[in-house]
Amino acid sequence: MQLAMVAAGFSAGEADQLRRSMAAWKRRGGLAHFEGRLLQGMQSRGYTADFAASIFKQITGFGEYGFPESHAASFALLVYVSAWLKCHQPAAFTAALLNSQPMGFYSAAQLVRDVKEHGVSVLPVEVGSSLGEASLCGEPPAVRLGFNQVRGLTVAAVQRMLAARTGSPFVSVHDLAERARLDRRDLAALAAAGALKTLAGDRHQALWQVSGFLPSPPLWQGVAEAQGVPLLRVPLEGEDIVADYRHLGLTLGRHPLALLRPRLQRRRVLAAAELIHQAVDTSIRVCGLVLMRQRPGSASGVTFVTLEDETGVVNLIVWRSVGSAWRQALLESRLLEARGRLQREGIVQHVVVDALFDRSRHLGALLTPSRDFH
C-alpha cells in the first residue's frame, strides 16, 4: 500500500482497494485491473517503463504468497495475546468475550462453562449489582453477568436502573419499578431471567409480584405497598435451567445433560469423559447438545459435529451416506444421540457414526442454538 501511494500516486482509498484485491486474488482475477494505473503512475513520477513493470511483477508475486503469510503472522500474534490473557486474566478475558457477543464459534454458555472449569466464579444477573455489560468484582476477580445478557430487556430500562440505584439500593420490586420507571415488560424480563432474586425470591415469586404490579397514583408515589406472599412452590431444578437458557442463553446451574444422565445410562449412553476408558473400534453411544456442524468443501460431503455433555465434548464424523440416511436428526437436532465406532490417535478421539437419533424432546423448551456450517 505504501509503495503504491509513494511510487504511483495512489490515494489511501485506492491503496486499500489494491490490498483488498490482493486478499481476494483467486476470486476476483488478481491485480490485473490495477496494472495500467500502477505503471502510468510510476512513469509519470520519473520511473522507467521497465522498472515500473518489474515493480508490478514483484507486487503480483507478493499477492500470491506474501499476503497469506502476513495474515498468518498477524493471526499468530492475536492467538498468542489471546492465549496469554486467557491464561493470566481468565475473568477479564471471558467478560470481554461475553460483551462482544455474538461472535466466533463459542456461545455465551460455552464461555461461561469453560471459565468456571478453570476456577473462576461467575455471578448471576442481579438488579442491585450488575452493570450494563459483564464486569469484574472481588479479588480474585469473578465475572458478574450484565444486563445485556437478559433477553427482552430494553437499553433505556437498564440506563434508568443504573441511574436510580446510585442514591440507594432497591428494597422491593415495587421500589425498583417506581424509581427506575420500569413497565411490566421490563419487569417480566428481569423476573424471568432470575435477576429479581434478592428482591422477590425465586422466579415464581418474582413473576407473581411483577404480574400484579401497577404504577402508583401520583399521591401514592414513594409509599410502600403491602402485599401478601402467595404459597407458590419453588421451581424445580430443570425448570430453572430451561428458564436460564430461554431468558439468558446460559445457565450457572448444572449442565442439562447432568439431569438426563440417569435416563441415558439406562440406554448405555456414555459420557464424554468415559470415552478415554473405551477400547478403540468399540461400538458406543454418545449424546449431547449440538454445538456446531461443519461440512468443509474439501471433505467430500463429510459432516463434522461437536456435541457437549456435562463432562466435555465429543467429536463426530458423519460420512455422506450416513448423513443422507439420518438427515433429519443430523440437521435439526438440538440434543443428538449418535451410535458409532470410537477412533483414537494419541489424545485425539472421535466417533465414526453409523446412526443418529434426535432426542431434542427430552430438553422440553430448552433453547440451545448451534453454530451450523459457517
- 9-49 residue pLDDT tens: 999 998 888 877 776 655 445 677 788 888 999 999 999 99
Q: Look up the pTM and report it.
A: 0.73
Distance of CA 112 to the CA centre of its chain: 10
Question: Which of 248, 270, 289 delimits the end of a domain?
Answer: 248
Angle of helix 173-180 relative to helix 155-164, nearest 10 degrees, comes to 110
User: Is residue 67 in some structural domain?
Assistant: yes
| Shared domain check, 139 and 43 | no
User: Is residue 55 a contact partner of residue 3, using CB atoms and an 8 Å limit?
Assistant: yes
* CB burial readout 220-240, b (16+ within 10 A) else e: eeeeeeeeeeeeeeebeebbb
For residue 340, which of 296, 280, 257, 261 has the smallest C-alpha distance?
280
Q: Interior CA angle at 315 toward 313 and 316, to 5°?
A: 140
The per-residue pLDDT for 27 is 47
Smallest CA-to-CA distance from 22 within 38, 45, 41 is with 38
Q: Tell me which residues of the chain have a pLDDT lower than 50.
A: 27-28, 219
Q: Please indicate, yes or no, whether residues 123 and 242 belong to a single structural domain of this protein.
A: yes
SS3 state at 307: strand
Domain-embedded: residue 292: yes
Within-domain flag for 94: no
The reported pLDDT for the residue numbered 31 is 73
Q: What is the DSSP string of 19-45?
A: HHHHHTHHHHTTTHHHHHHHHHHHHHT
- For residue 37, what are the domain limits? 2-85
Q: Are residues 266 and 240 in the same domain?
A: no
Q: Is there a domain that residue 95 lies in?
A: no
pLDDT of 28 reads: 45
Residue 241 contacts residue 366 (beta carbons within 8 Å):
yes
